Amino acid sequence: MPDFHDRIGDGRFALGSWLTFTEPASAEVMAGTGFDFFIVDGEHAPVGSAELLSVLIATRASGIPLLARVGANEPIRIMNALDLGASGVVIPQIRTADDVKRAVDWCRYPPDGLRGIAPRRASEYGRHTGEYVAGANKLVTCCIQVETTDALRDLEQLLAVPGVDCVLIGPNDLAASLGHRGDLAHPEVEAAIMRTLEVGRQAGVPIGVWTGSPDQARTRREQGFAFGTLGTDYGFMAAAAEAAVAGVRGTD
């Protein structure tokens, strides 16, 4: 299982993207583009367990870490994603320290947490169960999302929960929660993003953020973010197709 910790823990900015298609060939194509990691979106895309498995199989040869954003902070969703072999999980809509504790608990085996022991595919279908179980608590990434005013209010408490490996800021939901829906560039939204980065520095927790363009990704890298996401599989497809059509038709 590729270790996402290594990608964000050595001081290099890690650039990732979102996978939303359920067709494994799409993920296979994306895996050859040069990104450092991917997040498979199980919150806003039709990605269930079977689809996640297909994506994991399709991208295995690339050795690129795949995180699974689960649809909710629920034990079955978290454990299933990890047992299928995801490098970690991204938990959306985190609001309180109790939410964080719940997420961490279901990412960790006892005595550190509550995760049940049945890592079938993650352990090469039982061939390396002992080895996987022994190292999983350190290797599996528990990434929480900060995207609400509730999370901002208790940010120090959220990041103080033992076992949080990193944070992904969701600017779209954050802007909406702050009363600026659709205005990701609003000064209050930017202030909240930078405050999260600073609190993360103080807590020793790597902070990542969604970015809307290569220029913005470079800016976030220069600001000190540990990782960022750029684009989606469907977005890249649509942009390339539209540019090709425009190149032929011009102003016709």
Known catalytic residue at 186? no
Residue in 5, 44, 128, 180 annotated catalytic? 44
User: For residue 53, how many other CB atoms are within 10 A of its CB?
Assistant: 17
Output phi, psi for 67, to 5 deg: -95, 145
User: For residue 44, how many other CB atoms are within 10 A of its CB?
Assistant: 12
How many CA atoms within 13 Å lie on the side-chain side of 168? 31
Collapsing DSSP to helix, strand or coil, 252 comes out as coil
Residue 196: name the closest of 141, 159, 150, 162 by CA. Answer: 159
What does the CA dihedral 210, 137, 117, 95 come to, rounded to 10 degrees? -40
Name the DSSP letter for residue 168.
Answer: E
What does the CA dihedral 21, 24, 29, 34 come to, rounded to 10 degrees? 80
Active site members: 44
